[in-house]
Amino acid sequence: MKTYLDCIPCFFRQALAAARMSTDDEIVQRHVLNSVSFMMPDLALGVTPPEIAQQVYRIVHEITGNNDPYIEAKQYANQSAMALYARMKDMVDYSDDTLESACKLAIAGNAIDLGARTEFGSMFSIIEDSVAYELDRQHYRQFNESVGQSSLILYIADNAGEIVFDRILIEQLLQIKKMKIVFAVREKPIINDATLDDAFQVRLNEVATIISNGSDAPATILSQCSFKMRDYYQAADLIISKGQGNYESLSDRSENIFFLFKVKCPVIARDSGYEIDRPVLISSTVLKMAANKNPFSDESQPGGIE
C-alpha cells in the first residue's frame, strides 16, 4: 500500500507521542518534530507508510537516546493479557466454532496498538468486543479451508499484549491438525511491537517456533528482513499477518496471506473497504479479485467509509 498525504499528520502525531514517552524535556520534543519536518519535503509517497514511520522512529531514538520508550507499556500489556489467558481459553473452548472464536479474539487483540492510538483501554473491553461482530463469511471460509491444507504457517506478529491473543489462535490451529507454526516478531524495539523478549515472556515458544524478522520497521518490509524470515515466508503454505502495519506493507503481495486487524484510520478504511473500528479477516486472494473487478477506482483521495 502506498503512502497518502493523509498519512503525513499521523507521522507527526506518532513522533510527538514517542518523544513524550521518551523524555519530559519539551525542548528535545520540539527538536524531534523539527527533525521530522525536515524530512517531509523529500518524502517519497510511493513507499509504504511503515517505511516512512521507520525513519520517524529512528529520529526519535537518535535525538532522545531512548531506544525503547514503550517498554513499560509492553510489559503491562503482556502481564494484563496473560492474567486473562484462562478466561479467553474458556471462551474459545465453549464456543460453537472454536476456530472462528479464536480468530475473533486474535483480531480484537489488535486494539493494543500505541502507534495508531495513544491508549488501548481495558483488556476486559477488548475481550468483550471480540464477540460483538461477525467475520466476513467468504474470507473466513477460505481461511478455514487454507488452514486444513497447510503444514507450515508463518504467523507475523504485531504488538506486545496482543501476542497473548495470538497464542490462543495458535493453540486452536494446532488442535485442528499437526503442523509447524513459525511466529515472527520485530528484531528491535519499535513502538509497542512485540520482540523476542515479549514472545518468551508470554511463553509463545511453547506452541511455536519463535524468530525475529531482522528489521526494526513497524511492519514486514521483506527487503529488510533476514534470510531466515524470507525463507519461511516463501516456504509457508499460509501466512497470517497481524495488524495495520503488516497490512500496509504486504497488501500488494500475491502469496496466500490472511490479514487480521482492526481498522483504525480513514486511509486503511478506504484501502481495505471496511469502516473504521471494524475488526477484519481479509484474504489476499479475495483482495486481488476485487481489485481486478474494479480497475478504474479512484485512489487519489483516501477517506473513511461511512
Q: Using CA atoms, how far apart are residues 125 and 199, in angstroms rounded to an integer?
A: 23
Q: With contact defined as beta carbons under 8 Å apart, do 178 and 228 qualify?
A: no
At 44, the amino acid letter reads A
- In the predicted structure, residue 63 carries a pLDDT above the cut 90: yes
> What pTM was estimated for this model as a whole?
0.90
pLDDT of 143-170, one tens digit each? Answer: 999 999 999 999 999 999 999 999 999 9
Mean pLDDT of the chain: 89
Residue 297, pLDDT score: 42
- In the predicted structure, residue 250 carries a pLDDT above the cut 90: yes
- In the predicted structure, residue 211 carries a pLDDT above the cut 90: yes
Residue 115, pLDDT score: 65
Q: With contact defined as beta carbons under 8 Å apart, do 241 and 247 qualify?
A: yes
Q: Which residues contact 198 (CB under 8 A, 6 or more apart)?
A: 74, 78, 160, 163, 185
Residue 56, pLDDT score: 95
Cβ burial of 161 (10 Å; 0-12, 13-18, 19+) is buried
Q: Which residues contact 116 (CB under 8 A, 6 or more apart)?
A: 244, 264, 265
At 300, the amino acid letter reads S
More reliable by pLDDT, 301 or 127: 127
- In the predicted structure, residue 291 carries a pLDDT above the cut 80: no
pLDDT of 215-232, one tens digit each? Answer: 999 999 999 999 999 999
pLDDT-wise least confident of 94-98, 116-120, 195-199: 116-120
